[in-house]
Structures are given as structure tokens and as C-alpha cells.
Chains A and B, each alone.
Chain A
């Protein structure tokens, strides 16, 4: 069956531009997570959607970062006015419920020039 799909797989953009990263979770999964992995670092929690509840945005590093999840399915992570320190691999994961293991996509590698 289809796993978690992320697009694009790679994105190179100039500093100051806005970027949108997309995540298609596994069908029926109510929980969706975004993480960031900078070079040599672990997985940094960004945001967590669970069903119709208000998302947990406590990991977003600044107000330049935002995320939406439309119709309980596809999610987009938007970074406005990108900075070089935003360069990282952005990973999306979904799970059937919050208390079950997450299934990860292969990530979007974002490079800010």
C-alpha cells in the first residue's frame, strides 16, 4: 500500500523566498507530524495534527513557519522569507492514532542559497 509521500524531494531556493512543502499521509491516519533534521542533528519536532483538534504548534521555530492540514488529509508546511539556517531535511509522518508508531516519508531536502 502507499506510504507517506512528500514533495518535492529536493528544493533549492534563494534566501528570502517562500517555500511550500507537501505531505500526503497514509489514508485514514488521523495523526500527522512535521519534523526537521538539520545536518548532524536529531529530529526536531515542529507541529502535530491530531484529528479535528487544534494542532500543537509548540515546535515551530518562528512565525515564518506555518502548517495546514486540509480535510484531515494532505498537509503543507510553509516557510516564509527563508533564511540559510532553514536548510534541513523536513520529514512528515502519520499514524493511525497518536499513541501508535509513526510512518515517515522520505523527506524534503531544503537548501537555502
Chain B
């Protein structure tokens, strides 16, 4: 039972354009959402988060949008840079669940120069 789904295994974007990575979840109890970035042979690194009381959080080139009614969140990267090429994981947790974090399968982003 996949509670967090990233349906696009990969995405290719031209440098300078916007990258949009999508994530859907099924558990309505989730109230804290995060995006992590992972390079090969390294552990994931935290990128940006959003709590369920907000619908948008922005940090530099990265913005996360949350649509609770649709159980959907997205990560926007603009402008995209070649160094952004990595695997991006969406993750979700809930206070009621003790903050056990469930990760999606990841989306591999390729940013072409």
C-alpha cells in the first residue's frame, strides 16, 4: 500500500526553465511534508518542507505547493540548473503517527545545459 506516490520516474528539463515534480498521498492524517534531494552514492539531503496549515512555502528557487483537498503536493524549481540533476523524494508524516516518515519512490530530474 503506497501511501506516498511519485508517478513520474523521471523528468527532463532544459536549463533555465521550470521543473515541476509531483507527489500524491493517500493518508489524510499526514500533516507534514518534505522534499529531499539525492545524488548517487550519497544519502538524501533535506530541501524544503511544508506543514498542512500552509499551502505554499518558498525558499529561493524552490517552492512547494500543497493541495490538501486533492492530497497533492508539488515542488517547483525555477530556474532549473544542471546541478539540480538528482533524484527527488517526496516524504510525509503525521504527528498522530509519531512522525514516522513515509517516502515516495523518487523522481529522477535531468536538467540539460
Q: Which residues of A contact B45 (CB under 8 A)?
A: 104
B contact patch SS: loop
Cβ–Cβ < 8 Å partners of B41 in chain A: 106
B60 interface contact, C-beta 8 A:
no
For the side of the interface on B, what is the size category? 20 to 34
Interface size class of A (residues with CB under 8 A): 20 to 34
- Taken residue by residue from 37 to 73, chain B's Cβ proximity to chain A (1 for < 8 Å, 0 otherwise) reads as 0000111111001000000000000000000000000
B98 touches A48 (CB 8 A): yes
The A52-95 residues at the B interface (CB cut-off 8 A) are 53, 56, 58, 91, 93
> Is A35 in contact with B99, judged by CB distance below 8 angstroms?
no
Give complex CA distance A98, B31 in Å. Answer: 13
Residues of B within 8 A of A (CB): 6, 32, 34, 36, 41-46, 49, 89, 91, 93, 95, 98-106
